[in-house]
Amino acid sequence: TEDVLIKRVAIYQAGSISRSNLTNFNLYQGSTLLATTASLSSTDLATFDLTASPYTLPKDIARTFTVKADIAASAKPNDTIKFYADQTTDIYAVGATYGYGVQIDIGTSGTYNGSGTNFTTITVQGGQITVTTSGPATGNLAIGATDVNFLNFTVSPVVNAQIKILRV
C-alpha cells in the first residue's frame, strides 16, 4: 500500500565452494551499484547494508537485483556457488510513508530455501594454465649434433591440473 525502503539484503551461500574463494560482493539494481560487502560472514551470508542510502521500491513495481562477486583463482573446477534468501529477516525494509517494517515473503514449501527453484547455482569451470618459454638462447647448431636442446618451457597451473595432450 506504500513505497518501500529496502535497508538490508542478506543472501545465503550454500554451494560447495570455500567461502574464502568469494570476495568483493556488489549489489546492483540495473546498472546502479547499491551496496558492497567484502566477504561472506562465518554463517555464509553476504550482507548488504543500505541503511545510509535505502533503495526506494515504488508501490506495485517489481525490480530485479543482481549480485556480482570475484571468484578466487584457487577455486576448484566443479565447485558450486548457490545463493538464495534463506529467512524472512534476510531482507529488511520499511514503508516509506508510515515507517513500519514490511512483511517479507520469501516463499514457503521449499520455494526460497535452496531446495525449490528460486535460487541460482553456478558451477566453477576449469582453471588457468600458463606456459612460458625459458630458452635456450638463439644460436647455430652443428650438423650431425645429437641430443640437442630446442626448447625449455614451464607449465604453471593455478590449481592442480592433468595435462592429457601437449603439442609443441
3-class secondary structure for 59-105? CCCCCCEEEEEEECCCCCCCCEEEEECCCHHHEEEEECCCCCECCCC
Radius of gyration of the CA atoms of the chain, in A: 25
Comparing 121 with 4, which gets the higher pLDDT?
4
Residue 33 in this model has a pLDDT that exceeds 90: yes
What is the average per-residue pLDDT within 32-44? 97
Residue 79 in this model has a pLDDT that exceeds 90: yes
Residue 115 in this model has a pLDDT that exceeds 70: no
Cross-strand bridge partners of residue 123? 80
Task: Say what the pLDDT of residue 111 is.
Answer: 53
Which three cell numbers mark 4? 518501500
Rounded to whole angstroms, the Cα distance separating 74 from 66 reads 24
Residue 32 in this model has a pLDDT that exceeds 80: yes
Minimum mean pLDDT among 33-42, 50-59, 100-109: which range? 100-109
